[in-house]
């Protein structure tokens, strides 16, 4: 079964909403290995709400840390250290979407970056990038970091207003497939996410 890692070029680019869209469209399972920040709705809760997935398809996080910060900092405030070597994608009976915490260079411990775990997993990356100003630099740097470690990149999913020149530049210079673009949605719901997927993405790209 297909397993993808949903990674972003930065924090807050829209990974969780894209994850919810793909969980719904592919009838997939979802796993957020490290959740940093518990005061508001967690990413797992957002995906469950927006995708309408059955609760057994939203897998429990390996680490739940209260402070909304880089995982290594959040863990340190609680007097713990994330066991990065123990982070292993779960086996499920269907497609699986794994969402990272922040960008790929975010530290999980003082000596282990998220990208180090991704290099061990060797799962294809769906890179979520803004279509706004600055996205070319952030996207190409992220693609370079993944390629340097021989991590497969499935493609790029953009979030935001249509910026064809920037999107085409990233796809061409990064040598990656443009999977589609999720526009700014005035209302986030199961219905609007499904409509966004049907309008701009192809199910065949994830089969």
- Tally the residues of the chain: 207
pLDDT tops 90 at residue 207: no
Answer yes or no: 190 catalytic.
no
- The alpha-carbon radius of gyration of the chain (Å, integer) is 16
pLDDT tops 70 at residue 197: yes
Q: Taking residues 17-43, what's their average pLDDT?
A: 97
pLDDT digit string, tens, across residues 125-168: 999 999 988 999 999 999 999 999 999 999 999 999 999 999 99
Give the angle 105-158-167 at the CA atoms, nearest 5°: 100
Q: What is the 3-state secondary structure (H, E, C) of the chain?
A: CCEEEEEECCCCCCHHHHHHHHHHHHCCEEECCEEECCCCCCHHHHHHHHHCCCHHHEECCCEEECCCCCHHHHHHHCCCCCCHHHCCCCCCCCCEEEEEEEECCCECCCCCEHHHHHHHHCCCEEEEEECCCCHHHHHHHHHHHHHHCCCCEEEEEEECCCCHHHHHHHHHHHCCCEEEEECCCCCCCHHHHHHHHHHHCCHHHHC
pLDDT digit string, tens, across residues 169-196: 999 999 999 999 999 999 999 999 999 9
- Provide the terminal-to-terminal Cα distance of the chain, rounded to the nearest Å: 9
Q: Which of 32, 162, 177, 190 is catalytic?
A: 32
pLDDT digit string, tens, across residues 60-94: 999 999 999 999 999 999 999 999 999 999 999 99
pLDDT digit string, tens, across residues 100-116: 999 999 999 999 999 99
Question: What CA–CA distance (Å, rounded) separates 74 from 144?
Answer: 27
DSSP class of residue 9 equals S
Q: Give pTM, 2 decimals.
A: 0.96
- Domains within the chain, CATH numbers bracketed: 3-206 (3.40.50.300)
Best CA proximity match to 22, nearest among 173, 157, 141:
157
Q: Taking residues 194-204, what's their average pLDDT?
A: 97
């Amino acid at each position: 079964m297909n397993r993808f890692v949903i990674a972003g070029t930065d924090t807050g680019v829209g990974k969780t909403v894209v994850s919810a869209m793909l969980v719904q469209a592919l009838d997939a399972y979802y796993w957020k290995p490290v959740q940093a920040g518990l005061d508001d709705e967690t990413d797992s809760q957002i995906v469950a709400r927006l995708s309408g997935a059955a609760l057994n398809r939203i897998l429990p996080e390996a680490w739940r840390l209260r402070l909304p910060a880089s995982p290594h900092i959040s863990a340190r405030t609680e007097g713990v250290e994330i066991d990065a070597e123990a982070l292993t994608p779960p086996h499920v009976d269907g497609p699986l979407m794994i969402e990272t915490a922040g960008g790929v260079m975010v530290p999980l411990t003082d000596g282990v970056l998220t990208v180090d775990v991704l290099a061990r997993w060797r799962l294809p990356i769906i890179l979520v990038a803004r279509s706004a100003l600055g996205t070319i630099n952030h996207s190409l740097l992220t693609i370079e970091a993944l390629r340097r470690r021989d991590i497969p990149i499935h493609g790029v999913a953009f979030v935001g207003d249509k910026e064809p020149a920037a999107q085409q530049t990233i796809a061409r210079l990064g040598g990656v497939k443009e999977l589609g673009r999720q526009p700014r949605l005035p209302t986030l719901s199961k219905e609007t996410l499904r409509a966004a997927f049907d309008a701009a993405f192809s199910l065949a790209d994830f089969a």
